[in-house]
Copies of this chain bind each other. A is one copy, B any other.
């Protein structure tokens, strides 16, 4: 999971706010797009996973720093480095960069849940996912 290809995107009008820059909550969308595409490139189709198994990754915690702002028309790259998988949780670092300049960075913990359960019950991340992600599983 090291040295993964970044996810590249363009900032459209929909992403910005009257302050003239990208609205802060929209960076979270960018990071999720990057996670989805990373899974996809590793052979995990998140949409199919939800449809077939009613299992999905959801954001559990996020510590995020908005260091510098992106603006309309910018081309941004989102880098994702998986840290660890433990039971039903996966931890990773994500950064959003414009031409080598770090704009936003975040430490993200995802929970893997049963979307069909009334309580969104956490589910152990299955082996076919951890194998696809080529990550050492931490025993708990």
Contacts and interface: CB of A to CB of B under 8 A. Distances in A.
A contact residues, range: 35 or more
A29 interface: yes
A98 interface: no
A73 to B, nearest CB: 3
Given A25-B26, A28-B24, A19 B73 contact: no
Nearest to A29: B14
A88 interface: no
Contacts of A28: 24-25, 28
A47 B73 contact: yes
A20 interface: yes
A132 to B, nearest CB: 17
